[in-house]
Amino acid sequence: MCVHIFALLPLLWLFYAVPKGLLGGDPVKELIHYLGLGGLRLLLLSLLITPLVKKFKLGPLIKLRRPLGLWCFTWVSLHFAAWMGLDLALMWGLIGEELVKRTYIVVGFIAWLILLALAITSIPVLMRTMGKRWRQLHRGVYWVAVLACLHFYWSVKSGWVEPAVYAAIALVLLWPRKRNMVPW
C-alpha cells in the first residue's frame, strides 16, 4: 500500500501544480520532464530492491518490485502520452516524423515498448505460463535502464550533470547484473 501512495502522491501533486501555474514558463516541457524523471526514479528504485534483499536479507521487500515496475510503466506511459498529446497535439504525422527523425525519441520509444511487454506479462497467469522465458523477458528491464538514461542524456538541451548522475546510479545497479543482460 505504501508503494502505491509513494508513486501516486507526486502525480496527484500535478492536479494542484498545473492550475496554479507552478510548472514554470514552459509547463508542457516541465510536465513531460517531470513524468519522465518520475518514471526513471521508479525504474531505478525497482532495480535497487534485489541488491537490498540480498545484502540485508530483507526478503519481504521483493514484493515491492512488481508494483514499482508497474508504476514505472504508468509514469513513463504518461510521459509518452503528454509528449504526444500536449507537445505534438496528437498530430499523428508529426509524431511519426519525430519518432523516426530524433534518436532520443526512438530510444525512448524502444524503452517504452519493452516496458509495455513487461507490464503485460506481469499478470500472474502469464508469469506461470511463460515459465523460464518470463525471467528472460523481464531481464529486459536492464536494457530499459540503459535506454532510459540515453534518452534522458540525449533529450536535454543543456546540462549533462543530472542525466550523468542517473546514468551513474544505473551503472552501479546494473554492473553486478551484467551477465544477465542477454543481448536478446
- Indicate whether 78 pLDDT > 70: yes
Backbone angles phi, psi at 90, to 5 degrees: 55, 30
Q: What is the pLDDT of residues 54-67, one digit of tens each?
A: 999 988 999 999 99
Closest-CA residue to 84 (of 76, 75, 94)? 94
- Average confidence (pLDDT) over 38-52: 97
Other beta carbons within 10 angstroms of residue 55's beta carbon come to 8
- Indicate whether 68 pLDDT > 70: yes
* pLDDT at residue number 178: 83
* pLDDT at residue number 18: 92
* pLDDT at residue number 1: 74
CA-based max dimension of the chain: 51
Q: Which residue has the cell 536492464?
A: 142
pTM for this predicted structure: 0.94
- Average confidence (pLDDT) over 111-132: 94
* pLDDT at residue number 76: 99
DSSP one-letter string for the chain: -HHHHHHHHHHHHHHHHHHHTTT-S-HHHHHHHHHHHHHHHHHHHHHHHHHHHHHHT-GGGGGGHHHHHHHHHHHHHHHHHHIIIIISTT-HHHHHHHHHH-HHHHHHHHHHHHHHHHHHTTSHHHHHHHTHHHHHHHTHHHHHHHHHHHHHHHH-SS--HHHHHHHHHHHHHHGGGGGG----
- pLDDT band of 184, cuts 50, 70, 90: low
- Indicate whether 161 pLDDT > 60: yes
The residues spanned by each domain of the chain are 2-180
- Average confidence (pLDDT) over 125-150: 93
164/116 Cα distance (integer angstroms): 25
* pLDDT at residue number 182: 65
56/92 Cα distance (integer angstroms): 49
- pLDDT band of 129, cuts 50, 70, 90: very high
